[in-house]
């Protein structure tokens, strides 16, 4: 599917892709070796990828979510830009 998108989209096309649900919602960013599979799968679209989105589940509170996110950052590929969408209210309180 990803190879097909790479072939069928124009050269100037840019996209943002979300990290797989298994990483963000099922495993809550813990023990997520699936990150490397995701990077490998996204490789055909590398030139067309504007950013990769880490959408946190609505149930993930700032703690331990922040530590889990810090651990994930160590695994990220430096070739991409990343965006994080936090949705639990604890991320936005003073």
Q: Cα separation of 62 and 24, whole Å? A: 14
pLDDT in tens, 39-91: 999 999 999 999 999 999 999 999 999 999 999 999 998 889 999 999 999 99
pLDDT for residue 43: 95
Chain centre to alpha carbon of residue 88: 17
Which pLDDT does position 77 carry in this prediction? Answer: 86
Say what the pLDDT of residue 89 is: 96
The whole-angstrom separation of Cα 17 and Cα 32 is 17
Query: What's the total number of domains in the chain?
Result: 1
Domain carrying residue 84: 2-92
Q: What is the pTM of this model?
A: 0.91
Residue 39, helix vs strand vs coil: helix
Bridge partners for 15 per DSSP: 49
Whole-number Å distance between alpha carbons of 93 and 60? 14
The CATH number of residue 6's host domain is 3.20.20.410
């Amino acid at each position: 599917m990803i190879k097909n998108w790479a072939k069928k989209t124009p050269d100037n096309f840019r996209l943002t892709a979300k990290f797989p649900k298994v990483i963000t919602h099922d495993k809550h960013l813990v023990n997520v070796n699936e990150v490397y599979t995701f990077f490998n799968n996204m490789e055909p679209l590398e030139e067309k990828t504007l950013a990769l989105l880490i959408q946190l589940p609505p149930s993930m509170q700032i703690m331990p979510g922040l530590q889990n996110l810090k651990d994930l950052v160590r695994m990220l590929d430096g070739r991409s830009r990343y965006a994080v969408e936090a949705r639990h209210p604890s991320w936005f309180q003073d």
